[in-house]
Amino acid sequence: MRQATIERNTSETRIAVVVDLDGTGKYDIATGIGFFDHMLEQLSRHSLIDLHVRTQGDLHIDQHHTVEDTGIAIGQAVAQALGDKRGIRRYGDALSPMDECLTRVALDISGRPWLVWNVPFSQKRLGEMDTELFGHWFHSFAQAAGLTLHVETLYGDNNHHIAESAFKGLARALRTAVEIDPRKADAIPSTKGVL
């Protein structure tokens, strides 16, 4: 069973995350930031990873700790659920169109975290969410999950579409990368023998 539960409690946030990599895209998410919840719902639905998230953060200060720590907790849960990564496809990529917007996402479950983020926003907020925090969430998630992750919006004007295409692209790429490859279900996908 490729499932994991993570609890992350700090002086700034209290977070509980449950993931099932072999789910159907069911989600139950509450972070206190409506637009952020909407993006995490897209991640779950389009990756087919079941995702339960409960975050209580210091939103009376700002959204930074809530978004960052939620990214860390979800990343840790994905990494834990992957175990030794035996049998996974490892790589995933997606082109994610949303109306006038197109975003490209490529990732490698390498154990070597890195983020390349080329996603421009032309406004400071979407709903009540600060747009600068999207890149920060992707960075926190990639670091904790051990992903090499490249996200680039090739073009687009609508900021909602830009954000959503990035999360949907991540979802589709992640879905491919975490799937078990039936031709190599018993092997670590690396010539080193470990990831």
Ranges of each domain in the chain: 3-178
- Mean pLDDT over all residues of the chain? 97
CATH class of 3-178: alpha beta
Sequence letter at residue 69: D
First to last CA, the chain: 19
- Using a 10 angstrom Cβ sphere, with 0-12 exposed, 13-18 middle and 19 or more buried, the burial of residue 192 is exposed
- Residue range 3-13: average pLDDT? 98
Which of 64-68, 81-85, 162-166, 185-189 comes out lowest in average pLDDT? Answer: 185-189
Taking residues 95-103, report their average pLDDT. Answer: 98
pTM: 0.98
Distance separating alpha carbons of residues 110 and 114, to the nearest angstrom = 10
Report residue 151 CA to chain centroid gap: 11
pLDDT on residue 166 = 98
pLDDT at 185 over 90: no
The pLDDT score that the predictor gives to residue 174 is 98
Q: With pLDDT > 70 as the criterion, what percentage of the chain qualifies? A: 100
